[in-house]
Amino acid sequence: MDLHNRLAGVDQKKFYDLPFDVIEKIVEYLDFESQMKLRRVCHGLKNIMDQVKPPIDRLKCDFNYPKTANLFYASKYYKRFQYYNGENCKERAFNAMEIILSNPRLRLDSFECGEYSFDLSGDDHKLIEQLNALNHQLEITEITMRHLKTETMIALLKATKPGTLEEVRITEWIKPEDIDKLAELDQWKQAKRLRIDTYLADFSRQSQNFHHFEFIQCRVGEISVDDLMAMKNSFIMCIMGLPMPTEIDKVLGLTQVTFPYIGRFKIPNSNEFLEFTFLPLMRLRTLSRALQNIVDQVKPTIDHLRYDFNYHRMVIINCVSRYSSCHNSYIGENYKNKAFNDMKIILSNPKLRLESFIYYNQEFHEDHQKLIELLNSLNHKLEITKLVISQPRNERVMDILKAIKTGTLEELIIRCFPHEIINIDGLVDLDQWKQAKTLTIVGVFPDFSHQFHHFRHFESLELSVNDISINAMMDMKTAFSENPNFDRCIIRPTIRPPTSVIKEQLGLTDVSHGTGFYIGRWNIPDSEDHLEFLVSKSAIYTPMSKFLDNHPTALEALILYDIEKWRTADRSYRNLCELIGEDAISEEDFEELYRKLIKGKKTHPLDLRLCILSDVIERKSSSQSFIDTNKIIRSKDIDYQEFKFWFDTLFYGSRDLDQKTFSDLPFETISIIVEFLDFKSQARLRQVSHGLRNIVDRVKPSVQHLSFSFYTSGGINSFSISYGLNYRGFYDVAFWSTRYDGENEGVLKDLEILLRNPKLQLDSLHLGNQTDAEKDEKLIDMVNSLNHKLKVTRFETGFIKTEKLIASLKSVKPGTLEEISFKIDEPMSSIDRLAKLEQWKQAKHVEVYSVHTDFFPNFHHFHHFESLRTSVKSISMNDLLTMRNVYSENVNFKHCSIKVTNKPLTRVIEERLGLAELREENHVMFEFNFDFFLRGRSSYFGRYNIPDSKDYLLFDIDKFGIKVRRKSA
């Protein structure tokens, strides 16, 4: 029959002529937006849609001033965001809400209602009227109320069917009397969980309103022990921010009390606010050239920017504004380039105004050069108020300073390692330095006394110095008294004049004189202001008279050194006082010794430590100092190694001239010390002497993580060895690296020294190769030539050929290996030989980070593992059934995570696997699964009860993939 005849048929059946139960099944899996479209087709379909259960599990409505409204609705299969603006936007949003709420078959897991303006009383009344007009009560499991008035919150709770509501969340400040009103409702009394995001000043007075809850989260000012006892007897879990008296532990009978800081965990929907920060705009600019031009003309919503390379194989970019923050970690392939490209977009915007810019890059010179080339190519200078830079080289600091617009920089912080020498040559000539107001240097500034004039203009100054003379302190007093904007100065010298000398020379009057400090005051002439000096006594000045008593030839050597420099007795004595203070020897005794020595009366051999200290302060190089002392003292007994030790010790800040050297210790003591050194120190010590090398090679290396990588950088083949050590702190592992450029055979030699030590035990061993197959072969040959098997807990590689992976695993002692992580660019069938190794059979965890299409035909090689992590192109229903059966039989199985793009529909998986959907309170809430909230509750959780077992399999399915965990009931 042709189309005309079909359309002309009088007895043609229409969609709504189908039986209702058939139509219901057809539209049941439609999303709400599609149902709304069907509803508008005809009156008959409208009636049908109003009788069908809406496919909505979660509903959120926001009303924002002046002319915006948002509706968010979602189910376990989809989510939609509807944005209303323009004319009658509120009315259209309320109409959509009315359609949803008026359906008597509506069942909501969560309903969130919020008003983000302070003048929306009309919307409040309209919402109340809409709720009161319903012919039924809403069935809602969770209600979140944001910035609603008390009467609106009461109306919303009253509109909810008692017994269905299990969680109440209030985000705004609420009066105690308003809580009393809410607590009178049955919906409140029958709820199980309460979250109040704001501060409850008088919790004790209202505590009776909370005792029936199983879970409560809030912040309180104070709480009584009686309330805590009542809470202990009723609550299953409580997260409360409050002052915690120590006696509460005993009263409650707790062995451990942990109260998380409220706000440390992101609560549901908090990520949506971050969608309006700068990085989503960066994604927006990739959509079209027009949007790119628009975004590039808008001032970035960034006040504080951080560009940080000080992580192992990761770059951090933090963007913080007044209203939001965004933390971005760049890892994996081309992670540095990806981070640089985002930084380029940010810094290229001429409207960028930064309150602070933090730049940490102490190692990667090429990446620094890329940044500088970018800054030099800009048509504008950066406007930055505060610069924090971690750089040991002043030329790199200069590069960044030159890119900053003159007059905008107010604060400069230069960070280096605590004892690293800071060089400001060149910096002091820049206008950015001269116009800055605040300077902080973390490191050691070697010659402050002679270069203070470069610091006179700063209003705030903080730095560590080798030494400070009384003349420099006099200059500081003069400069700071003449600078009306001066605020404070903190100097941390290793050596300084005695407190009594400081007090006398500066003309200070006592303010306070404690055991650990002295505070003195100096009134500024012709001013109502004064300078206050706080001098700490924490070992920044050490009397040197004892040193001269023990080493009299050190003073003789210094005097002879000064005589050869044509210094008078008076000038030589002042030089001594600048070195070690004035209480070491009286001026009369010094002059008497000077006269004896100038006549040629001297003792042998001479101690050169004071001569070396004098050269260090005068900024001589070590080689020049060694030549001068040899020439002037005319001694053939100067040992260069000892000279170099003292020169370096004094140059890097130490002023303990009487310290014992390492070689003074007994042999047994050295062995014990070496065992507790980190590997970097052990390696340095190994180069000192043959004896120390033997000691180091006999102790267990202080290395728990080892990474060996080949890569190409700037057209040059480079090799890197990274050593890691576990320690308790903010980071789990501390890493440091050694880089080898070009055809450097030393890389394998250094690695061999470590691996040949039979006491080596590694938590992890990483072998990575991107460029050099020959080095790969040499490395494998080397590890297989060892006289022992390596003890390794975790073995991981980058992309590697299967035969090389097999050869590498053979070098590991079976039974010690628990985790294997690898990438291969070959079919999974190539692991048949790998699976025959004892190392593979006895391992417990495996990660395959390469994506494969033939993973599941080879899945039988992975049945015995306790955990599995991998990525696949697709997964079939039969594959999932196999996983379910295998993991049901494997009593040691713990978890499996598979990233997959193509997979069966969630409802099909649920039906075929025989899963029972888990509700939040049964699984997530009481297991602290905050990740569930962070993902916007978009996961499906299903439970499969293992036959003849108390265990069950938990399936976590979301758009990224499938996770399976075995848990006990």
pLDDT score at 255: 37
Q: What confidence tens digit (pLDDT) does each residue in 111-153 have?
A: 888 765 444 455 667 888 888 888 889 999 999 988 888 888 8
The total of other beta-carbon atoms located within 10 Å of residue 704's CB is 19
Residue ranges per domain, the chain? 15-252, 303-495, 545-655, 660-702, 703-915
Q: Mean pLDDT per 10-residue run, the chain (969 residues)? A: 48 61 64 67 71 80 70 69 72 82 86 64 73 88 87 90 90 83 90 82 76 78 62 54 42 34 31 35 54 64 83 78 68 83 86 89 81 90 91 77 92 73 78 91 75 87 80 88 87 77 84 70 87 66 56 77 79 74 71 76 66 77 80 62 75 62 65 73 72 76 78 61 55 51 62 83 77 67 84 86 85 91 83 90 91 86 93 92 94 93 88 81 38 51 91 90 90
**How does strand 951-958 pair with strand 940-945?**
antiparallel
pLDDT score at 505: 86
Q: What confidence tens digit (pLDDT) does each residue in 533-576 have?
A: 887 754 334 445 556 666 777 777 788 878 777 778 888 787 77
> What is the phi-psi region of residue 507: left when phi exceeds 0, alpha when psi lies from -120 to 50, beta otherwise?
left
Task: Give the Å distances, CA to CA, from 686 to 126, 333, 675.
Answer: 80, 36, 13
Tokens representing 77 are: 């299969």
pLDDT score at 690: 66
- Do the domains 15-252 and 703-915 sit in the same CATH topology, yes or no? yes
Residue recorded with tokens 């590697």: 800
Tell me if the bond preceding 758 is cis, omega within 30° of 0.
no
Backbone angles phi, psi at 788, to 5 degrees: -145, 160
CATH of domain 15-252: 3.80.10
Q: Where are the alpha helices (DSSP H) in 763-919?
A: 773-784, 802-810, 838-842, 877-889, 906-913
- Cα separation, 945 vs 967, in Å, equals 10
The total of other beta-carbon atoms located within 10 Å of residue 268's CB is 21
Beta strands in 201-300 (DSSP E): 215-220, 237-241
| Residues paired with residue 953 on neighbouring β-strands, in sequence order | 944, 966
pLDDT score at 885: 94
β-sheet with 314-320: strand ranges across: 325-330, 314-320, 304-311, 353-360, 383-390, 411-415, 438-445, 460-467, 488-495
Tokens representing 86 are: 């323009």
Q: Find, among 116, 175, 107, 172, the residue nearest to 142 by Cα.
A: 107
Write the DSSP string, 338-406: HHHHHHHHHHT-TT-EEEEEEEE-SS-HHHHHHHHHHHHH-SS-BEEEEEEEE-S-HHHHHHHHHTBPT
CATH of domain 303-495: 3.80.10
H or E segment and range at residue 559: helix 552-564
Cβ neighbours for 23, distance < 8 A, ≥ 6 positions apart:
15, 16, 48, 52
pLDDT score at 947: 92
pLDDT score at 471: 84
- Cα separation, 343 vs 335, in Å, equals 12
- Cα separation, 560 vs 569, in Å, equals 11
Please, what is the Cα angle at 787 between 783 and 790, to 5 degrees?
A: 50
Tokens representing 349 are: 């915007």
> What is the phi-psi region of residue 77: left when phi exceeds 0, alpha when psi lies from -120 to 50, beta otherwise?
alpha
The domain at 703-915 falls in which architecture?
Alpha-Beta Horseshoe (3.80)
Rg (CA), the chain: 37
